[in-house]
Amino acid sequence: MTQTVLITGANGGVGRLMRTRLAREGRVLRLLDVVRPEDPAEGEAVEIIEASVTDEAAMRAACEGAEAVIHLGGISVEAPWDGILSANIDGTRVVLEAARDAGVARVVLASSNHAAGFYDLDEAPEGGLPADAFPRPDTYYGVSKVAMEALGSLFHDRYGIDVTALRIGSCFEKPWDRRSLWTWMSPDDCARLLEACLATPGPGFRVVWGISRNTRRWWSLAEGEAIGYHPQDDSEIYAAEVPQEPAERLAGGKFCSTPLGEHM
């Protein structure tokens, strides 16, 4: 049987990194973005949808026949409130309602470390900050991720949909500064984490940190391990390449001091 996985925001940085990594025999990736993703290469089991996650009819159609949704679409940095409210908060509601209406059993939400950016790095608990640490958003963007997690919890409790919200650190090819040495999630580990989210039996509602097995990590890996996520990469191999700026005091880094609502 074919497994169809809808990925929103598939034309973004993470979506493009995942496109080949999540390809599997017997799986179709349905790639949705407001900016049209590239057409399928020869033999690639991919469907393309150009639509906004705020478009209820388009999202209902996109969820038809999907086994799971990986919701990456939205604004990924600080920005004016209206845009954040529409794309990130209302967009997540529309995605979850469409998934429920179509009978999609499982949704993975791209939350962010910026839902909890105001934690003080000097107060590292043993084993790292738990993934369900109470939100301390550092921006309107961070607030939208707290709302995303709340919507995921609501749709699990009301309708029984399995929802895993990933508080992603920094998912890029390589770490590039001192902070990203502890926040990094390698693209291969991101694919491992998403596969764990798709495969783990009956996850219910969970929050999990999206990071690699970084020597300098400050967030817990326990919640990921509980769903079968065993990261294999460590940013430390890039440590010598990264500029040695002064250490940050707050987990959200420069998001904690960026003016609220201003485009980054």
Residues classed as catalytic: 141
Asked if 219 and 129 touch (Cβ cutoff 8 Å), the reply is: yes
Task: Establish if 224 lies at the interface with ligand NAD (CB under 6 A).
Answer: no
Residue 203 CA to residue 199 CA, distance in Å, equals: 9
Q: Is 68 in the site for ligand NAD (CB under 6 A)?
A: no
CA distance 210 to 219: 9
Q: Does 14 bind ligand NAD (CB under 6 A)?
A: yes
- Name which of 42 and 99 has its Cβ closer to ligand NAD: 99
Nearest to 47 by CA among 96, 16, 6: 6
In the complex, minimum distance from the CB of residue 25 to ligand NAD, in angstroms, rounded to a whole number: 25
CA distance 190 to 168: 9
Interface with ligand NAD (CB under 6 A), residue from 12, 117, 135, 152? 12
- Of the pair 25, 193, the CB lying nearest ligand NAD is at 193
In the complex, minimum distance from the CB of residue 34 to ligand NAD, in angstroms, rounded to a whole number:
4
Query: Using the rule CB under 6 A, which residue among 29, 62, 68, 72 binds ligand NAD?
Result: 72
Q: Render 83-114 in DSSP notation, one character per residue.
A: HIIIIIIIHHHHHHHHHHHHT--EEEEEEEGG
- Tell me the residue number closest to ligand NAD, measured at CB: 12
Task: Output 76 or 220, the one with its CB closest to ligand NAD.
Answer: 76
CA angle 84, 85, 91 (to 5 degrees): 95
Return the residue of 5, 62, 70, 76 that touches ligand NAD, per CB under 6 A: 76
Quick one: 170 or 214, whose CB is closer to ligand NAD? 170
Among 4, 11, 164, 186, the residue binding ligand NAD under the rule CB under 6 A is: 11
DSSP annotation of 72 reads -
Contact assessment for residue 208 and residue 223, using Cβ atoms and an 8 Å cutoff: yes
Q: Is residue 171 a contact point for ligand NAD (CB under 6 A)?
A: yes
Binder among 2, 24, 35, 80 for ligand NAD (CB under 6 A): 35
Q: Which residues are within 8 A (CB) of 233 and not within 5 positions of it... i.e. 6 or more apart?
A: 184, 186, 188, 189, 212, 213
DSSP letter, residue 257: T
Q: Which residues bind ligand NAD (CB under 6 A)?
A: 8-9, 11-15, 33-35, 52-54, 72-74, 76, 87, 91, 110, 112, 168, 170-171
